[in-house]
Amino acid sequence: MKTLLLAATLSLASVTAPAASDSGKQLYSVYCTQCHGVAGNGKGINAAQMAVQPRDHTDTKEMSARTDEELFKVIEHGGKSINKSVLMPPWGGNLKDDEIHALVGYLRALCCQKD
Amino acid sequence: MKLRLTLGAAAVLAAGVPLAAHADVAGDVKQQCGSCHALDHDYAKAPTHERADRKGPPLDYAGNKFRREWLYSWLQNPVRLRPAGVFPPAHVKPSADGDVVDTATLAEHPALDAAQAGKVADYLMTLTPFDTLIKAETYQPGTIAQRMGQMNFGKFKGCDGCHQDAPGKGGVSGPELYTAWQRLQPAFISAYIAQPAAWDPHTMMPVGDANTAAVHKLANYLKLIGEKQP
């Protein structure tokens, strides 16, 4: 019986297993680099036309002043949610919470774990 | 499963070799277009980073998206709609002034002759898996003052961060929108602005918080600027 249960559980797991998740770096490449730059320096291809310059994510001092919760909030709800520019859109409808957490983790690596 | 086309086959198509007259158009499209364009919705089940592998926009819902007459015309005279390609990070290089588009990495779309374009356009218009999204749409094309539309597009909603509403004006990561009205069905424009991820879960278009009236205003602005285009 135990064997049967285990087999059934494994079978169910294989059917419902989610696709391999994306890393924060991969998500950053898809959603953030157009404005924040491929190097995360705030100089993406859209930045030249913007009235407000995107945040430089490699700026250790600026980024250290933001908590993880604030970073999560601005990614989820956009710039307006922290009285910043509407040019930073809300990504909460595109990304799941764990993906936003992965992005926050990558932002921390970009800003503050330099060689 | 998407078929992958070799560059060689794309070059043959570009050189104007006609689609096999006896073959069915669906098979031809799958073979000739499937290397760059998704023709089924399988990508929706993949991790988000499949987005980085796309060479062209998905066509699996082309019949819910495009205007047939635009497809017919564009396929004969393809011009770039996305200044930085379908996946911009793949076509970017750093410079002293910031990232710039590396145009040398952008591929040209093959041109079809009129007969081929007609067949392909007719076939693509049969791909309508999202009829329910279109039928649920309440948008009725209307008018908006240029200045209000422009402010809404830029200052209030920030669409100009990624899209151009006039040649050379606005961001370059998204498709140009001053030609969107000629290209896209009105109901699609409205439905996509409201819920882009319902169409493509890996879209780079944010799911915004605009209410229905605000979405319709944006659609009317695209109508206004689109109808001014030659």
pLDDT in tens, A27-72: 999 999 999 999 999 999 999 999 999 999 999 999 999 999 999 9
Using the predicted structure, report yes or no on whether residue B7 has a pLDDT greater than 70.
Answer: no
- Reading the block at residue B165, the tokens are 């509403």
Closest partner residue to B162 (CB to CB) among A34, A41, A90 is: A34
**Residue A114 pLDDT class (50, 70, 90 cuts):** low
φ/ψ bin of B190: left (φ > 0), alpha (ψ from -120 to 50), beta (otherwise): alpha
- In 10 A of CB B133, how many CB atoms? 18
Helices (H), chain B: 7-14, 25-33, 62-65, 68-76, 114-124, 131-135, 146-151, 180-183, 186-194, 196-199, 212-227
- Residues on chain B touching A26 (C-beta within 8 angstroms): 47-49, 52
pLDDT per residue as tens digits for the range B203-225 = 999 998 889 999 999 999 999 99
- Residue B177 in contact with partner chain A when CB distance is under 8 A: no
Query: Which of chain A's residues have a Cβ under 8 Å away from the Cβ of B202?
Result: 30
Q: Is B90 on the interface with A (CB under 8 A)?
A: no
CA triplet A87, A66, B159: central angle to 5 degrees? 5
Per-residue pLDDT at A2 exceeds 50? no
Report the alpha-carbon distance of residue B212 to residue B48 in Å, rounded.
28
Interface test with A, best of B151, B162, B192 (most A CBs within 10 A): B162
| Residue (of A59, A54, A57) closest to A86 by Cα position | A54
Neighboring chain B residues of A50 at a CB cutoff of 8 Å: 161, 171
- How far apart CA B144 and CA B224 sit, in angstroms, is 7
Say which DSSP state B155 is in.
I
How much is the pLDDT for A15?
42
What was the ipTM of the complex prediction?
Answer: 0.86
What is the C-alpha separation between B160 and B225, in angstroms, rounded? 14
Pairing assessment for the beta strands B169-170 and B100-101 based on DSSP bridges: unpaired
Would you call B84 an interface residue with chain A, using a CB distance cutoff of 8 Å? yes
Backbone Cα Rg of chain A: 18
What's the pTM?
A: 0.86
pLDDT of residue B230: 79
Locate B139 and state its tokens.
């948008």
Instruction: Please tell me which of the candidates B51, B98, B207 has its beta carbon nearest to residue A30.
Output: B51
Shortest distance between the Cα of B36 and any Cα of chain A, in A, equals 18
pLDDT at B152: 95
In this model, does residue A115 exceed pLDDT 90?
no
Chain B residues 188-227 with a CB less than 8 Å from chain A: 197, 201-204, 206-209
| Cα–Cα separations (whole angstroms), residue B40 to B1, B30, B35, B117, B143 | 8, 10, 12, 20, 36
Average pLDDT over residues B121-125: 97
Percent of chain B with pLDDT over 90: 87
* pLDDT tier for residue B108 given thresholds of 50, 70 and 90: very high
Residues 131-160, chain B: which have Cβ within 8 Å of A? 155-158, 160
Whole-number average pLDDT of chain B: 91
* Average pLDDT of the residues in B42-65: 96
User: Distance between CA B78 and CA B149 in Å, rounded?
Assistant: 28
Q: Which helix (H) or strand (E) holds A33?
A: helix A33-36
Nearest to A69 by CA among A37, A43, A108: A108
Q: What is the pLDDT of residue B5?
A: 38
Of A22, A87, A90, the CB nearest to B49: A22
pLDDT at B156 over 60: yes
DSSP per position, B51-112: GGG-SS---TTHHHHB-HHHHHHHHHS---SSTT-SSGGGGEE--TTS-EE-GGGPPPPPP-
Residue B90 has pLDDT above 90, yes or no: yes
Picking from A31, A38, A92, the nearest residue to B94 by CB comes out as A38
